[in-house]
Amino acid sequence: QSALTQPRSVSGSPGQSVTISCTGTSSDVGDYYYVSWYQQHPGKAPKLMIYDVSKRPSGVPDRFSGSNSGNTASLTISGLQAEDEADYFCSSYAGTYTFDVVFGGGTKLTVL
Amino acid sequence: QVQLQESGPGLVKPSETLSLTCSVSGASISSYYWSWIRQPPGKGLEWIGYIYYSGSTNYNPSLKSRVTISLDMSKIQFSLKLSSVTAEDTAVYYCLRGGSWFDSWGQGTLVTVSS
């Protein structure tokens, strides 16, 4: 069982916005500003999309944005495109002063 | 641009030790964390552990008794050893740059534990 909870699937039509949630506890998402999000297409290695809750690496479209509130982090994808269809994983530091890393179970995004 | 490449046996027998190496090119090992993550077939990601260029390490508590991550700065590579493997350790293993977030990933290597 994954430490962080994500919905198994979300869907949206091209041009719409979708939000994927990532719920943890006060010992991980709620305690650290180190939430990150990864996109994984089938058979490929994951790709970093968001780090430190809301920062985008160079080359990631600004359609991707991150935020958090309490123990829940969110990834919002606006202006959905067909190529956004993929699995998305969240991650966070966890543990008091142990700096372990935990992942969510992943969310399958389907672009209708 | 940093590139990482995993290498090692694709098949390991139960109770033996899984050994993988990650070769780093295009970047210095210094001043970064270097990590291993795995993904069982059809499942999510699991953090294994990381090593800082200084040599300090941090491991997943559930794997800590079986895991060793080491660094060879002269060869610009780092390694993973996982002992006493079982079928539950069958997964794609990724090496990565980073400790809290991971900006560069290897392509991943499938390791199957089977007799």
Full 3-state SS string of chain A: CCCEECCCEEEECCCCCEEEEEECCCCCCCCCCCCEEEEECCCCCCEEEEECCCECCCCCCCCEEEEEECCEEEEEECCCCHHHCEEEEEEEEECCCCCEEEEECCEEEEEC
Half-sphere exposure of A51 (CA within 13 A, CB side): 12
A48 lies within 8 A of chain B by CB: yes
Q: State the best of B101, B105, B107, B109 to mutate against chain A, taking most chain A CBs within 10 Å.
A: B101
Residue B106: pLDDT band with limits 50, 70, 90: very high
Mean of the per-residue pLDDT values of chain B? 94
A103 contacts in B (CB within 8 Å)?
A: 44-47
**Pick from B100, B96, B106, B17: nearest CA to A91:** B100
Each residue of B6-22: pLDDT tens digit? 999 999 999 999 999 99
pLDDT score for A66: 97
Each residue of B42-96: pLDDT tens digit? 889 999 999 999 999 999 999 999 999 999 988 899 999 999 999 999 999 999 9
- In tens digits, chain A (112 residues) has pLDDT values of 568 999 999 999 999 999 999 999 988 888 888 999 999 999 999 999 999 999 999 999 999 999 999 999 999 999 999 999 999 999 998 876 778 899 999 999 999 9
Query: CB–CB of A105 and B99 under 8 A?
Result: no
